[in-house]
């Protein structure tokens, strides 16, 4: 009974916090929290306050990760940790639950364990990663890579859309680059990690189940393409004398869509396209666009990326334009820990009678953390499978079930280690 009361109280607080973070945005018209933005700083301050209220030792690092350590083990602060969390940054025009729900569930689990006075052999850690979506620098998992000790020094030279690099951002924020590069990993091989995340797809809703478990995460890559021609007057330059990059870019976009349509397992998306100078009476001089490409395994993704690059180069070679392709991000597929997945599945069975096992086509911080310590993921039903969309929604009842399942999984992992 004491455990149920603690779950109910933590679930109620979590709903209030979700509402507050939904309004914490750098734009009034839509939800957006980008790395280093004022809204991200505000969200981080909320998270720090909520973590401190549980009695956790709270950290806010140079990259703006927020994480708290609850010393629940009798063996002291260096005892193995069960980490629970996700990311608190968002895409543009985002939904309120992607990443954020997993962060708040991590804090809520610590609250439940503390309030129910459950003894643990592990320490508990609530994590809020700063940059999973990669909106600013087009390089995902910056925050989780940093806490895992896998930060790549070359990322300091990654520019945002205004040409300002990550390194320049850190210097402007009075952070020491040397300290960033010498940071000791917070997530260690002796630890384990649980990430709760909305499914971002329709499988759970179709099965009428609130929860499931992810067994693997698909490989993904991101690229940036520039097609450079020559701007000119729209009324005076005949077609034969034009070097217009936009029709060429359109043929490339069609090739990317054709790849996406070619087989069920492929995901290929042009999510951003910029035309310059973007004036109605000027022939474009340059077109830039992004490619997001995904496949269940890394070898298959590599083969399809290479095939797409060959096709894009063929299109460019048949035109007058200059063509540039730059790969901005690569992530191998991740096979999640069978033991932790089984613990999550058993917890799901306890709260809903069955545990669906799903492959995630969306990328998650768990892909990075799984390289360091045993990792698995709880999937939470979202209405109509919508995500990266303002209508993204998870019911209060499903949020509570997710909290209950996570607490159950933590107890199982703690006792089984």
Q: What are 281-313's pLDDT values in tens digits?
A: 999 999 999 999 999 999 999 999 999 999 999
Looking at per-residue confidence, does 140 or 385 come out higher? 385
Give pLDDT, residue 109.
Answer: 98
Name the fold adopted by 2-218+333-416: Aminopeptidase (3.40.630)
Give the whole-angstrom CA distance, residue 335 versus residue 219.
Answer: 10
> Which DSSP state fits 230?
B
Kind and range of the H or E element at 346? helix 338-352
Give the whole-angstrom CA distance, residue 80 versus residue 120.
Answer: 11
What are the distances in angstroms from CA 412 to CA 201, 329, 347, 406?
28, 36, 8, 10
Give the tokens for residue 403: 């909290």
Q: What are 144-154's pLDDT values in tens digits?
A: 999 999 999 99
Q: What are 55-99's pLDDT values in tens digits?
A: 999 999 999 999 999 999 999 999 999 999 999 999 999 999 999
Q: What are 202-237's pLDDT values in tens digits?
A: 999 999 999 999 999 999 999 999 999 999 999 999
Give the tokens for residue 119: 């003894």
Give the tokens for residue 215: 């067994």
- Cβ–Cβ < 8 Å for 334, 193: no
Give pLDDT, residue 365.
Answer: 96
Give the whole-angstrom CA distance, residue 213 versus residue 209.
Answer: 11
Give pLDDT, residue 138.
Answer: 82
- Cβ–Cβ < 8 Å for 64, 143: yes
Q: Which residues contact 41 (CB under 8 A, 6 or more apart)?
A: 64
Question: What pLDDT band is residue 279 in, cutting at 50, 70 and 90?
Answer: very high
Give the whole-angstrom CA distance, residue 58 versus residue 39.
Answer: 20
What DSSP assignment string belongs to 42-101?
A: HHHHHHHHHHHHTT-EEEE-TT--EEEEE--STT-TTS-EEEEEEE----TT--SSTTHH
> Which DSSP state fits 197?
E
Give the tokens for residue 356: 């669906």
Q: Which residues contact 306 (CB under 8 A, 6 or more apart)?
A: none
For the structural domain made of 220-331, what CATH number should be given? 3.30.70.360
Give the whole-angstrom CA distance, residue 202 versus residue 171.
Answer: 43
Do strands 211-217 and 356-360 pair parallel, antiparallel, or not at all (unpaired)?
Answer: parallel
Q: What are the structural domain ranges in the chain?
A: 2-218+333-416, 220-331
Angle, alpha carbons 410-411-412 (nearest 5°):
90
Q: What are 10-20's pLDDT values in tens digits?
A: 999 999 999 99
- Cβ–Cβ < 8 Å for 67, 44: no
Give the whole-angstrom CA distance, residue 141 versus residue 65.
Answer: 11
Give pLDDT, residue 1.
Answer: 57
Whether pLDDT at 123 is above 80: yes
Q: Give the Cβ contact number of residue 417 at 10 Å.
A: 12
Give pLDDT, residue 404.
Answer: 97
């Amino acid at each position: 009974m004491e455990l149920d009361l603690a779950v109910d109280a933590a679930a109620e607080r979590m709903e209030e916090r979700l509402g507050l973070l939904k309004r914490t945005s750098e734009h009034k018209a839509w939800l957006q929290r980008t790395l280093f933005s004022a809204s991200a700083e505000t969200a981080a301050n909320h998270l720090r306050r909520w973590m401190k209220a549980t009695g956790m030792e709270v950290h806010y690092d140079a990259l703006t990760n927020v994480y708290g350590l609850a010393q629940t083990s009798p063996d002291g602060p260096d005892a193995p940790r069960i980490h629970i969390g996700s990311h608190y940054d968002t895409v543009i025009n985002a939904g309120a639950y992607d990443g954020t729900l997993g962060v708040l569930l991590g804090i809520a689990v610590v609250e439940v364990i503390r309030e129910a006075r459950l003894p643990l052999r592990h320490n508990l850690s609530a994590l809020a990663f700063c940059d999973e979506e990669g909106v600013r620098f087009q390089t995902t998992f910056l925050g989780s890579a940093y806490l895992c000790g896998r930060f790549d020094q070359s990322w300091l030279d990654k520019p945002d859309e205004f040409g300002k690099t990550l390194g320049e951002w850190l210097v402007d924020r009075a952070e020491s680059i040397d300290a960033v590069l010498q940071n000791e990993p917070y997530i260690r091989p002796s630890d384990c990690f649980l990430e709760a995340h909305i499914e971002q797809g329709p499988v759970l809703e179709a099965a009428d189940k609130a929860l499931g478990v992810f067994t693997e995460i698909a490989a993904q890559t991101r690229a940036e393409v520039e097609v450079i021609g020559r701007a000119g007057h729209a009324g005076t330059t005949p077609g034969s004398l034009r070097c217009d990059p936009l029709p060429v870019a359109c043929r490339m976009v069609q090739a990317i869509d054709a790849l996406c349509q070619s087989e069920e397992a492929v995901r290929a998306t042009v999510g951003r396209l910029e035309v310059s100078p973007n004036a109605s009476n000027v022939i474009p001089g340059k077109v830039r666009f992004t490619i997001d490409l995904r496949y269940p395994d890394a070898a298959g993704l590599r083969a399809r990326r290479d095939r797409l690059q060959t096709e894009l180069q063929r299109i460019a070679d048949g035109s007058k334009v200059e063509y540039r392709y730059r790969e901005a991000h690569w992530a191998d597929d991740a096979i999640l820990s069978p033991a932790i997945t089984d613990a999550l599945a058993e917890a799901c069975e306890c709260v809903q009678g069955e545990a669906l096992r799903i492959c995630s086509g969306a990328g998650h911080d768990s892909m990075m953390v799984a390289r360091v310590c045993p990792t698995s993921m709880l999937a939470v039903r979202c209405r109509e499978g919508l995500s990266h969309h303002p209508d993204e929604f998870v019911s209060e009842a499903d949020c509570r079930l997710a909290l209950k399942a996570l607490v159950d999984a933590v107890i199982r992992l703690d006792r089984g280690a």
